[in-house]
A and B are shown apart, each in its own frame.
Chain A
Amino acid sequence: MMRFGVIIFPGSNCDQDCHYAIESRAGQPAVMLWHESEDLQGCDAVVVPGGFAYGDYLRTGAIAKFAPIMQSVKRFAQTGGMVLGICNGFQILCEAGLLPGALMRNAGLKYVCKQVYIRTETTDTPFTHSLHRGEVLQVPIGHMDGNYFCDEPTLASLQKEERVVFRYSSPGGERTPEANPNGSLDDIAGICSPGRNVLGLMPHPDRSSESMLGSADGLKIFQAMVGALVRK
């Protein structure tokens, strides 16, 4: 069994969705971690869920990064702990410096909620080791600020180190302008840290963990994490 911790910030609204996906779909125990605490309660992996932490006021993730729990998450990540940031969680991890770059306002300037397709770019992460390279997942997005941006040297190193984990694609796996829903640089949907133990992505695996809701592809990410812990 793998013990997941799901952080609750004021304004998180996918915390229970992550909890449900992990417990009911992936069959693993999950505990809720309160933002004001520094205690990770012995978790094997931490999920920073989606939502609007602190209302996304100031900037998405800008206030959340100062929360006590994030200091523990940083230490946890530095020692190789698995951290998954989904949507607002990805934005928070970027703000906190656990991942490079920033998520800017969508190119269309509007919130976009729909099903998208993402292509697996590397299987060399604990989140994707059980997928195959080029595998396309149907996973929904729902965000206003998902337009990934970083400077050129950062992009070059992300590419060189194969740290772009997912790119937006067509259902057939081709990169097209229409497949990119928010204007993200290099069609980036998700990236990992240099140590490959921190993954941030805009699409929601928590919303795509059962076919009744449209797709069960996202469950594969949670299952890969469980597998990675067993292998460790």
Chain B
Amino acid sequence: MSTATRIEPTITPEIIAEHGLTPGEYRKILDTLGRTPTITELGIYSVMWSEHCSYKSSKVHLKRLPTRSKLVLQGPGENAGIIDIGDGWACAFKIESHNHPSFIEPFQGAATGVGGILRDIFTMGARPLAVMDSLRFGPITKSKDSGQATVHRNHSIVEGVVSGIAGYGNCFGVPNLGGETKFEDSYSQNPLVNAFALGLMRKEDIFYAKAAGVGNPVIYVGAKTGRDGIHGATMASEEFKEGSEQKRPNVQVGDPFLEKLLLEACLEAMQTGAIVGIQDMGAAGLTCSTCEMGARGGVGIRIELDRVPQRETGMNAYEIMLSESQERMLLVAEKGREHEVFRVFEKWGLDAVTVGVVIAEPRLRVFEHGQLVADIPNTSLTDDAPLYHRPLAAWTPPVPREMPATVTLKRRGDFTAELKQLLASPNICSKRWIFEQYESMVQTNTVEGPGADAGVMRIKGTRRGLAMSLDCNGRWCYLDPKLGAMHAVAEAARNVVCAGGRPVAATNCLNFGNPEKPPIMGQFSATVDGLAEACTALGTPITGGNVSLYNETLGEGIYPTPVVGVVGIIDDIDKVTRFHFAAPGRDILVLRTACSGDEAERLVRFGSSEYAKEVLGTLWGLPPALDLAAEADLQKTLLGLISQGLIESAHDCSEGGLAVALAEGCFVKGVGARVEVKSHGMAAELGLFAETASRVILSCDPKNTTRIQELAVQSGLRADRFGATIQERLEILVDGATAVSAAVSELKAAWAGALENALHG
């Protein structure tokens, strides 16, 4: 019953440390303000200068990424990147992590991750068209390294994350095109949940998160503010707050229904022309939105906390400013036209309240009960936040470079059992159990849904479409961060090309361990170099993304995991190419760059394959080699083949190599294939299962084969015909001898049910 009374606590070194601020950072605050900060100000600095908001460890490196092209309308620095996709349309897209919350509470953590990325998209004026997710979990099958308890916990994380993503996106009404799901030991205590969203808008309807116009009202819309997700606040709570109920749930709870209403209301309110700028209240909630909008516009914002809609009683300034309650937006409207905005929000049954005003001084001024409780220069929170050149050390993975002597290859014989084992392995098996829980068809634009190389959406009212793919092989990045990052870009782009899309831009989510450890920072720096090189070579500038550091548990870091999302434009949606074989009687070709390397060299690369992990049970060596110039030629050539209508299917050869790619091509229609591979005197495992990059399996009408081969050779590539599609069986011969022979249905059974069996068997 008692009302809270403000008792300003003394700022002690303990309080500063509990806020994650270093003594040096605190001195910087004192210098900026010229006085001791209030507890509210300290809280504001602590969230804005957190790694998550400030990118203080990563910023100096991220500058090396290419971010521009003729098509990029908005690069990094806004809620999402935007590219021009033609016919007056633009698309906004971004990927963001929600790793830690998804470990603490998998369902809500994943759900609010989806909610956050969707708001980033529609706050720019775009209607979300599709989402995808890149997920990493610990092992879901027992092994020497993972016991029953670990496996059980991982199962419940998988179940929770998947149902959280489904629960939010399905209700919101955005199709989920899948993405990728990988399992490795290093993610056992630290799952990764990276959510990607893409939205469409007319070019003239883009909105920015920028305040402008002194005297314009600042309006709060959406859900009420509660004590959700307040950081590190166990600290000062007793000292500066009286009252009985001090429960501070750190887990934010999502309300997808409210978000759907917020989407409709925001897009409708934007149409009134009365909105000047708008930003989502995500991490650091009201704090981040007020100072960032002010900083971008070179103005300030003054807010009155008493007017902020509150879900709980007795909240103080610290709590209101730091709350991470979901489904909230802050917007600046034109003075005198507030009612137009209010009318729209009222129609959708949402709160919309003027909480402040744009001021000329470029400062964030926060009032509570008429008292000034924070008065901070905006840029000290944003552009002038601390930056660190953290020490780097070269990363050397603690694994052998050569194939261990304990490993023996069969070299010859029948590999049907090994292929089945690979098809049923968690990283390769069908992810149907996951993606059937996701709504993938709402909005009626989904041309290629989950399970394909890339997701494909058509754009209503045009002939165009968009293809998108998320990729990263963390194991490869662990063995060689730079090369692994290059592969992430190359594979995502190649997948987009396989669907007939011209890759034009990328977004990234960089998941790493503790940046204060020089080798981790070494991984990070090498990764950025790899991304920069590959994005430049393949013409896909990075338009935004997110960095997630400190992904460690008990001192063990995750595999460096730079997830890359590539978006491509399809000029003619009728030319979308499928990844699977359509019918028997087609020629099968492998389009590839020239390969090199003797057996010893190839065996070093083989250590990073799924075959080495699953069948041989060990890890060594390096990722496959990658020639970016040749990769670019391959992608360009493949797009040419598709636009000329010469091929019927195109499927990227990735995890599990040629044999797995062929099997996957057979599953959709139950069409078989018979191909012959030459070993050139090397172990048959290499021909069947090596994950050599820059290879695409094509199928075509036999009358086009010669033409395809001519075009490939003209580009310095090869397109060897190595077999044909047949009825219902997969037959692979190595040097004329049968190496794989099985009914497609039998292989498909191993592949289709494996995930569900692992989780529920």
Q: Which residues in A have some Cβ–Cβ distance to B below 8 Å? A: 10-11, 13-14, 16-17, 20-21, 24, 50-52, 54-57, 110-114, 140, 142, 144, 204, 206-207, 209, 212-213
Contact across chains for B257 and A57 when beta carbons are under 8 A apart: yes
Given A55-B256, A55-B257, A111-B437, A21 contacting B444 (CB threshold 8 A): yes
B260 at the interface (CB under 8 A from A): yes
Bits for B435-453, please: 1 = Cβ < 8 Å to A, else 0: 1111111111111000000
Q: Which of A11, A13, A57, A212 has a CB less than 8 Å from the CB of B442?
A: A13
Given A212-B573, A213-B444, A142 contacting B439 (CB threshold 8 A): yes
B79 at the interface (CB under 8 A from A): no
Q: Looking at the complex, which of B163-171, B592-600, B696-704 is the stretch in contact with chain A?
A: B163-171
Q: List B residues 234-270 near A (Cβ within 8 Å).
A: 255-258, 260-261
User: Which residues from B are CB-within-8-Å of A213?
Assistant: 441, 444-447
Contact across chains for B163 and A110 when beta carbons are under 8 A apart: yes
Contact across chains for B348 and A10 when beta carbons are under 8 A apart: yes
| Nearest CB on A from B674, distance (A) | 27
Given A52-B257, A57-B257, A212-B458, A17 contacting B444 (CB threshold 8 A): yes
Q: Which residues in B have some Cβ–Cβ distance to A below 8 Å? A: 163, 166-167, 170-173, 255-258, 260-261, 348-349, 435-447, 458, 460, 573-574
Q: In the complex, A173 Cα to B574 Cα: how many Å?
A: 30
Across the interface, name the chain B residue whose C-beta is closest to A112.
B436
User: Which residues from A are CB-within-8-Å of B172?
Assistant: 13
Q: In the complex, A8 Cα to B447 Cα: how many Å?
A: 25
Given A10-B348, A11-B257, A55-B257, A111 contacting B166 (CB threshold 8 A): yes
Q: In the complex, A204 Cα to B163 Cα: how many Å?
A: 22
Contact across chains for A16 and B443 when beta carbons are under 8 A apart: yes
User: Which residues from B are CB-within-8-Å of A55?
Assistant: 171, 255-258
User: Which residues from B are CB-within-8-Å of A113?
Assistant: 170, 435-441
| Nearest CB on A from B209, distance (A) | 26
Contact across chains for A204 and B573 when beta carbons are under 8 A apart: no
Across the interface, name the chain A residue whose C-beta is closest to B441.
A207
Q: In the complex, A55 Cα to B460 Cα: how many Å?
A: 27
Contact across chains for A114 and B348 when beta carbons are under 8 A apart: no
| Nearest CB on B from A111, distance (A) | 5
User: Which residues from B are CB-within-8-Å of A54?
Assistant: 257
User: Which residues from A are CB-within-8-Å of B166?
Assistant: 110-111
| Nearest CB on A from B258, distance (A) | 8
User: Which residues from B are CB-within-8-Å of A10?
Assistant: 257, 260-261, 348-349
Contact across chains for B444 and A111 when beta carbons are under 8 A apart: no
Contact across chains for B260 and A204 when beta carbons are under 8 A apart: no
Q: In the complex, A112 Cα to B172 Cα: how many Å?
A: 16
- 16 pairs, A vs B, C-beta closer than 8 Å: A11-B257, A16-B443, A17-B442, A17-B444, A21-B444, A52-B257, A52-B260, A54-B257, A55-B258, A110-B166, A113-B170, A113-B437, A113-B440, A113-B441, A206-B444, A212-B574
User: Which residues from A are CB-within-8-Å of B445?
Assistant: 213
Given A11-B171, A55-B171, A55-B256, A204 contacting B437 (CB threshold 8 A): no
User: Which residues from A are CB-within-8-Å of B436?
Assistant: 110-114
Contact across chains for B260 and A207 when beta carbons are under 8 A apart: no
Across the interface, name the chain A residue whose C-beta is closest to B456.
A212
User: Which residues from B are CB-within-8-Å of A110?
Assistant: 163, 166, 436-437
Q: In the complex, A13 Cα to B444 Cα: how many Å?
A: 11
Contact across chains for B441 and A140 when beta carbons are under 8 A apart: yes
